[in-house]
Structure formats: C-alpha cells, structure tokens
C-alpha cells in the first residue's frame, strides 16, 4: 500500500476511534451492542412460532470464508460444487469449541446447497474408541445437523493412503528414517538455524520401499523407523522440514480394523489426501493448522489425484471461552481422575454436559453465530455464552414455582383441609405464548427463607413482621406472628390472607413485593443441583497446573427443595424457569418420577449485560474512591493511572489473563498490554478488533 493509502487508512481509523470515544463518554458503548442483541432476542419469536433447529430460517452472517466461496462460485473453480467436511478424531467427546466448526462447515454447505461430510480421523488406535464415535454422531444430530449418507472413516482409506506413500517413495520424495524422536527433533534445527539431513536421508528408493513394506508387515517395533517426506530442511516453516508421514503402532487394536495394520498415517498425511479422495472443495480448520497448510498443498501437488483442482485449506479462529479448558487431554484428565462425574458432567464444556445441564441446540448455534468467524484467535467471555442460553430459554420455557430453602407459613384465616386450585399462566404477558396450569393453594405453604426478614434492611420489599406481600398467582398475605425454636431460629410464620385480592391489587393498600410459594401439602420434594463455573481462574490453561484452579463451589446439591406438583409427570430433560430463581432442567440421567432431580442451567440475572452497563459507574467509583475527602486532615496520595489499571486487573482475573496473553501470544509490549487491559471497555473493544483483524500490533 502506498503512503497515500496508508494515510487514508490512518485517517479512517482516527475517525472510528474518535466516534467510539464519544459513545463511551455518552455512556452508549457498549450498551448499543447489548441493546442490539436484546432486540434480536425480543424479535426472535414475534411470529409466535418456535424457531426450528436449522439454519434455513436465517442466512449466516457474512465472513471471509463466505466471501471466498462466493468468489469460487463466481469463477466456477469447482464447477459450482461446495463440499465441506467435519473431521473429528474419536478420542473424546465433542466440546463447545467444536460447535463453531460444526455450525460453520454444515451451515455453509446447507446455505450453498452443497454437502458436508462427517469423517472420523481415526488414525491413532491407542486413544480412539467406538464410544466416542457414537457420542460425536449423537451430538451432531442433537445440534440439528445431518450428514445423510456422507459418513466416512479415514481407516477405510488405509490401503489407498499406503499406495500414496509408496508413490512418494518411488518419486524419491519420501524416505524411511531410523532416527529416534529426540534425534529427529534435534536434526530439524530451530527458527534460527537450518535443519541437518538425517544420515538415512540418502537411502535409495529400493531400500526405502523394502523398509516401508517391512514396517507394514510388522517386522519392526514402535519407534524403530518412521516414514518422512523429503522436502526442505532450510524452510522457515518448521513443519516443512521433512515432516513425518507414517509411524509404527504395534500392540494396539484399532476399533474398526483390529490388528490388520501396525503402521498408521500421521494427521498431515491422511488429512489432505482423505479430502482429495472424497472430493472436498473447502477444507476448513482452525488457526493452529495454519502452518500445516504448506504440507497440505505439497502433498496434493506431488501425488496423482483424481480431483482437479485439489481441495483448498482455509483457517479460521478457534472458539475459546474464559473459565473453560478445551484440551481433550485435559478434559480426559478431569474425567479419569474423577474431578467431574464424567464426560457429560453439566460443568464440563462438552456438548453432552451442556445438553444435560439444559442448554438447547438453538442457544449453542446462536452463540456460534454471535461469536462469528474471524482470522485472529481471541477469548470470548463466559457471560456471552450465558446470555445466548438465557436469551433462548426466555422465549421457550414455561414458568413454575419452586422453593429452594423452605420456610413454613400457616395462613390462619384459610379454612383447614380446604384446597383452592388457582389458574397460573406458564408465560408472562410479554412472551407470545399461551398456556396455564392449576396450582393448589392451601392453609400451609412454603416460601423462601430469605423472602422473610425479621429486621428488614433498607429497600427490602418482601415479607416482614406486620407487613404484606403478594403471593404469585394468589393472594396478599400479612405476617402476624413469628414462631422460633429453643435456639432462637425462625421455624414458622403465621399470616392472614385477604380473599378479595386474588389476581388484583388490594384497595387502598400499596403492596410492593411479590414472592413465589408452594403448597406444603401438595409440593413435591426435589433435588436441585446448582452449577457454577468449574474453574475459578478466567484462563486456567495459561497456568502451570490447571487443576489448581478447580472451583470448590462449582456444585451445590439441595435436597430440601419443594416444587409445585404440575411437573411431576413430565419427562426427563424438561426445561422450566423456576420463578425468580433461574432456568432449570430435569436431569436426563438421574431424574425419575420417584426422585426428581433438576439442574440449574443458568441464573435469571443477565450478569453479562449488567456487568457491561455497570462499567462506567464502576470506573467512576474507583477513581472517586482514590480522591481524598474534603474533611480529611491529611491528603492521601492520589493513585496514578497505571496503579488504577493494575488494581482493576488484580480484581478481575480475566483482564489479568489477557494482560499476560497479549504479551506472550500476541507479541505486544508490557506497556501496550497494560493500556489495553487497564480498562474494561478498551479491553472489550480490542477483543472485538482482534475478531476482525489479524494484526494485533496495528
């Protein structure tokens, strides 16, 4: 770009920053973004129809991959074909990071009228299992996608892949190396020095063919020999310095091929050639495979293929979420060491765990769409995921009443033995859905213990001695007496009710509060599991031992809760909003009509939006707190801006994690990282910029 172009670009950037500063000063940033998302949620079901689990109702947002496919279709590069694939290795359960890749590959194929293959990259018999295959298939179906008849396994191509390897040897483009793993690493060199040729690099074609066949026939043990490509030991891309193509894996039975094979292709070799065998046009993968693209192209250019032009690899940013670990190895460690109940533990970031917790496939797809497709890695806030889940559940789940910490209330003027069935709506007036249930009202009920306060604090609007409160869907009650036990604990309240106040405000009295309740006689005892974040550190992966940051309060089990009886016959997996408490789902594993178990999916409070809206106030309060009081005799020293930024990071582990990541991964100076993580809005803006621009320093 010429100097004039750079000047224009800089001028536009200055205007954008100036506009954002004006928005921030006016308090409208980032509320504008949040308001847009809220409006999206409000309009989501305005047609009074539940949105189907497909992407056909709304086109995906434009991104650089769509632009590339549009151009390929325009030029006729693949004769109008769009064939994508999702190639998981069956060595663990899918996690939420995979949902982005699934939604992208399947969604693009669907949008362009193409097909998406499901191909299991099963080339490591030591860690793969049919259990993982079945779980992956189940998760993809649950998310709303279908591969139809396009189900493939790399293990089905072992014979053809072996022939491709022989072809490379015959062209003197591959050789059998007898160095061990450590020696290969040493001979490969470093970023500052070229690699050295292995002493076995000069083997003849005949020697290599003989040795490679002997490897296949099981004549050698693991590690004795490997097959390597013969490319360029001086390449600045370390991946191109004679990469491994095949290794020996004896003593392992493949879950599909048994002991038929004892050599297995490496990912870089099998991946691109499997794409070519299947006629894939657009091979989409995450950014960690960016340096592997040269191997991908080199291999396709040096073997005889039946597809022209060959597939093309394109990388996009992977999905990383604060307070989660996404490494399959670490997730497996959590399971095997029993830090969690299994792969489907509702605290796990696995699709199975999120399904059990009560997340909907629509909410995960909405989240992937909200995150978007970018060229630079970034970390998405956990609250953003919660927002997507809450926003989806708000419009689809019925409301019921559940008391988690019961306090008995006796309504003394309600006749003993009498029961009144009240009609209670399942949905609030602003949700375009209808339906109601019958809720029994009796002389004895339960309310939440914290909905009563004997000595109320300022602003408390619930039940107090001598005070009134409205019972949801029922009457106004007044507390007349407080019953305590021998140790001065409140065990019961005595109240009266006003029979003229059912469904309407009492005349001449102003009742501010409304609380939920359950009939003591008809309520159903339930076990309620309240889940929180599995880790207390925003970036557990960034530390030496991620297990040190396991949150000891990630699960609370409540066995004293009481639920209204309307849900007792509903099947496992039923979702509800427990009024005033949050969104809950009956556990699909442990819940039964005889023993109901509910998992909290997400709390009612929109912590993400509220946190964003509170930022300007928090910043002002923090600065104000550093100012001395006029009445103070000694004027304290005012904190510098650098000290304020450091204090903010010390109170916010996510900002601290970004501060470290910007230096280690993005190559920013300490001063740059300090400025970018010393203000929540600046940090949020920079993360948004990273999502669309792949040059962090600029």
* Widest CA span in the chain: 102
- Residue 84 near residue 281, CB atoms below 8 Å: yes
Q: In this structure, what DSSP letter does residue 648 have?
A: H
How would you label 133-171 residue by residue, b for 16+ Cβ within 10 Å and e otherwise?
A: bebbbebbebbbbebeeeebbbbbbbeebbebbbebbee
| Residue 609: HSE in the Cβ half-sphere, 13 Å Cα cutoff | 17
278 is known as an active-site residue: no
In this structure, the strands spanning 517-519 and 444-448 are antiparallel
Nearest to 515 by CA among 479, 481, 474: 474
Give me 408's structure tokens.
Answer: 């008995």
> Is-contact 122 154, C-beta < 8 A?
yes
Catalytic hit among 228, 247, 328, 396: 328
Say which residue the tokens 């107090």 belong to: 464
Helices (H), 81-204: 96-111, 130-143, 158-170, 181-187
Residue tagged 């709303």 (tokens) = 144
How many angstroms separate the CA atoms of 418 and 439, rounded? Answer: 14
Separation between Cα atoms, residue 640 and residue 653, nearest integer Å: 21
- The span from the CA of 447 to the CA of 517, in Å, is 5
Q: What angle do CA 243, 249, 253 make, to 5 degrees?
A: 140
Considering the candidates 89, 167, 224, 660, report the single residue annotated as catalytic: 89
Decide if 328 is catalytic.
yes
Residue 242 contacts by C-beta under 8 Å, 6 or more apart in sequence? 177, 188, 195, 198, 201, 228, 229, 230, 231, 233
> Which of 505, 441, 515 lies closest to 479 in space, CA to CA?
515
Unique residue bearing structure tokens 């894939």: 280
List the catalytic residue out of 256, 318, 470, 615. 318
Question: Other CB atoms closer than 10 Å to residue 314's CB: what's the count?
Answer: 16
Residue 542's nearest CA partner among 217, 320, 343 is 320
- Dihedral sign, Cα of residue 100, residue 101, residue 105, residue 106: negative
Q: What is the DSSP string of 532-571?
A: --SBSSS-GGGSS-GGGGB-TTSEEEEEEEEE-GGGTTSP
Cβ–Cβ < 8 Å for 405, 526: no
Q: What are the residue numbers of the active site?
A: 89, 318, 328
């Amino acid at each position: 770009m010429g100097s004039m172009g750079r000047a224009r670009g800089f001028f536009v950037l200055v205007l954008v920053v100036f506009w954002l500063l004006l928005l921030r000063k006016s308090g409208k940033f980032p509320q504008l973004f949040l308001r847009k998302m809220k409006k999206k949620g409000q309009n989501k079901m305005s047609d009074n129809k539940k949105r189907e689990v497909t992407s056909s109702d709304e086109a995906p947002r434009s991104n650089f991959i769509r632009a590339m496919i549009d151009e390929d279709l325009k030029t006729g590069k693949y004769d109008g074909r769009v064939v994508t694939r999702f190639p998981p290795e069956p060595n663990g359960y899918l996690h939420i990071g995979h949902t982005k890749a699934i939604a992208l590959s399947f969604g693009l194929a669907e949008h362009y009228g193409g097909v998406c293959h499901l191909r299991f990259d099963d080339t490591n018999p030591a860690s793969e299992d049919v259990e993982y295959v079945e779980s992956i298939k189940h998760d993809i179906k649950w998310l709303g996608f279908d591969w139809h008849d396009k189900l493939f396994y790399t293990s089905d191509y072992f014979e053809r892949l072996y022939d491709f390897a022989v072809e490379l040897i015959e062209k003197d483009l591959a050789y059998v190396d007898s160095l061990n793993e450590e020696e290969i690493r040493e001979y490969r060199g470093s970023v500052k020095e070229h690699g050295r040729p292995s002493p076995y690099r000069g083997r003849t074609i005949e020697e290599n063919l003989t040795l490679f066949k002997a490897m296949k026939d099981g004549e050698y043990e693991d590690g004795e020999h490997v097959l390597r490509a013969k490319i360029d030991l001086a390449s600045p891309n370390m991946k191109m310095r004679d990469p491994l193509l095949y290794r020996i894996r004896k003593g392992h039975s493949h879950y599909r091929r048994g002991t038929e094979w004892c050599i297995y292709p490496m990912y870089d070799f099998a991946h691109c050639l499997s794409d070519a065998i299947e006629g894939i046009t657009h091979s989409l993968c995450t950014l960690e495979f960016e340096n592997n693209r040269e191997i991908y192209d080199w291999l396709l250019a040096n073997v005889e293929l039946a597809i022209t032009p060959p597939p093309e690899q394109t990388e996009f940013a992977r999905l990383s979420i604060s307070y989660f670990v996404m490494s399959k190895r670490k997730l497996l460690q959590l399971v095997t060491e029993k830090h969690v109940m299994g792969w489907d533990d509702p605290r796990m970031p696995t699709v199975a765990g999120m399904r059990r917790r009560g997340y909907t496939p629509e909410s995960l797809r909405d989240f992937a769409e909200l995150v978007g497709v970018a060229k630079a890695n970034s970390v998405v806030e956990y609250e953003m995921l919660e927002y997507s889940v809450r926003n989806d559940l708000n419009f689809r789940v019925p409301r019921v009443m559940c008391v988690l910490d019961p306090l008995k209330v006796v309504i003394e003027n309600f006749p003993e033995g009498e029961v009144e069935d009240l009609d209670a709506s399942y949905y609030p007036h602003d949700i375009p859905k209808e339906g109601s249930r019958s809720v029994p009202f009796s002389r004895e009920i339960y309310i939440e213990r914290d909905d009563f306060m004997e000595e109320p604090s300022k602003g408390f609007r619930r039940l107090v001695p001598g005070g009134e409160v409205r019972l949801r869907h029922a009457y106004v009650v007044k507390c007349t007496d407080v019953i305590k036990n021998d140790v001065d604990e409140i065990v019961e309240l005595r109240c009266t009710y006003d029979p003229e106040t059912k469904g309407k405000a009492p005349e001449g009295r102003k009742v501010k509060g409304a609380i939920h309740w359950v009939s003591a006689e008809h309520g159903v005892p339930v076990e309620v599991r309240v889940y929180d974040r599995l880790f207390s550190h925003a970036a557990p992966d960034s530390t030496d031992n991620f297990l040190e940051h396991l949150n000891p309060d990630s699960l609370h089990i409540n066995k004293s809760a009481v639920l209204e009886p309307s849900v007792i016959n509903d099947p496992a997996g039923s979702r509800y909003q427990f009024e005033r408490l949050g969104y809950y789902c009956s556990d699909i594993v442990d819940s039964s009509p005889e023993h109901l178990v509910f998992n909290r999916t997400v709390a009612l409070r929109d912590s993400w939006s509220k946190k964003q809206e509170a930022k300007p106030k928090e910043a002002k309060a923090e600065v104000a707190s550093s100012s001395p009081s006029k009445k103070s005799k000694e004027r304290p020293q005012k904190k510098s801006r650098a000290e304020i930024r450091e204090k903010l990071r010390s109170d916010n582990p996510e900002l601290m994690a970004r501060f470290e990541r910007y230096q280690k991964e993005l190559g920013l100076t300490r001063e740059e990282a300090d400025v970018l993580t010393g203000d929540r809005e600046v940090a949020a803006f920079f993360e948004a910029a990273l999502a669309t621009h792949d040059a962090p320093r600029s």
